[in-house]
């Protein structure tokens, strides 16, 4: 069995390892390309003054921050385990993981920090999901959002992928973001191969990701119970076992 891994190149290895451990051959088909901002250090400069913590909503944010700053003494608050692992590897001394979504991250910050101790910095991409500023504002925090990278959508499938889809060689596709899902749907429709998705199962990190896949017909669309790699693995095991899933 083969499965498309649609994550950006740097984010794909854990997903590929999860698939291989279950006898599935991962096929790289990144739908987004991550490009750090060239002036990241300048963007961070004054924004870090008086900050009591740095927030990361992706491992890409961690990597972009690492390329622009050496301020690792600040506590890192991460949306999930992947971004937390990247923060530890980068050199942050104190790392917290919300192990969930944006709302969980805001709740974690509210439980660990007090608004009067200083502002928070969000090392962000040009496009963000959820309402982190609103969630934190309601808790009394000031958030400084600094764009450190951009995710560029693919304008075509990688070599060989379109042929593999046409010939029904791919049994599954894994999606981690609504934008990656929407990019896949757009490319499939532009290449007039959307109907070939009828033989594939789409595995999504969350219901929001699954919703972005509705533009083409799938054999089944399964969303993980929680936006974590562990929950995604559990959903995958359910699919492989042939058990009914909602």
Check whether residue 234 and residue 181 sit in a common domain. yes
Instruction: Count other C-beta atoms under 10 Å from residue 114's C-beta.
Output: 11
Check whether residue 168 and residue 221 sit in a common domain. yes
> Which residue has 């390892």 as its token pair?
17
Last residue of a domain, one of 151, 185, 206: 151
Shortest CA distance to 176 belongs to which of 223, 124, 236, 215? 223
| 77, part of any domain | yes
Residue 38's pLDDT is 94
Plot region of 94 (φ>0 → left; ψ -120 to 50 → alpha; else → beta): beta
| 246, part of any domain | no
| 87, part of any domain | yes
pTM more than 0.75: yes
CATH code, domain carrying 205: 3.40.50.10090
Check whether residue 92 and residue 176 sit in a common domain. no
Number of compact structural domains in the chain: 2
Q: Which residues pair with 96 in a beta bridge?
A: 77
Domain that holds residue 198: 2-31+156-241
For the segment 55-95, what is each residue's pLDDT rounded down to a tens digit? 999 999 999 999 999 999 999 999 988 899 999 999 999 99
Residue 103 phi/psi, 5° resolution?
A: -60, -40
Check whether residue 56 and residue 6 sit in a common domain. no
What are the structure tokens assigned to 77, written together?
Answer: 């608050």
Collect the ranges in the chain with pLDDT lower than 50.
Answer: 243-246
Last residue of a domain, one of 151, 178, 198: 151
Last residue of a domain, one of 124, 151, 178: 151
């Amino acid at each position: 069995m083969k499965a498309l891994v649609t994550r950006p190149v740097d984010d794909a290895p854990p997903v590929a390892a999860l698939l291989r451990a279950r006898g599935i051959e991962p096929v790289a088909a990144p739908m987004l390309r991550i490009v750090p901002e060239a002036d990241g250090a300048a963007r961070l400069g004054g924004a870090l003054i008086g900050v009591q913590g740095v927030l990361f909503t992706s491992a890409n944010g961690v990597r972009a921050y690492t390329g622009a700053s050496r301020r690792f003494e600040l506590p890192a608050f991460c949306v999930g385990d992947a971004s937390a692992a990247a923060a530890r590897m980068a050199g942050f001394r104190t790392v917290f993981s919300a192990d969930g979504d944006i709302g969980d991250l805001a709740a974690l910050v509210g439980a660990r920090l007090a608004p009067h101790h200083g502002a928070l910095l969000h090392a962000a991409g040009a496009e963000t999901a959820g309402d982190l500023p609103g969630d934190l504002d309601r808790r009394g925090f000031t958030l400084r959002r600094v764009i450190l990278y951009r995710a560029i959508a693919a304008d075509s499938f990688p070599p060989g992928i379109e042929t593999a889809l046409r010939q029904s060689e791919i049994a599954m596709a894994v999606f981690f973001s609504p934008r990656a899902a929407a990019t896949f749907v757009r490319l499939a429709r532009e290449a007039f191969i959307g109907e070939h998705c009828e033989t594939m199962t789409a595995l999504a990190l969350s219901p929001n990701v699954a919703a972005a896949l509705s533009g083409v017909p799938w054999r089944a669309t399964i969303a993980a119970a929680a936006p974590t790699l562990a929950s995604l693995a559990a959903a995958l095991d359910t699919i492989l076992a042939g058990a009914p899933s909602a």
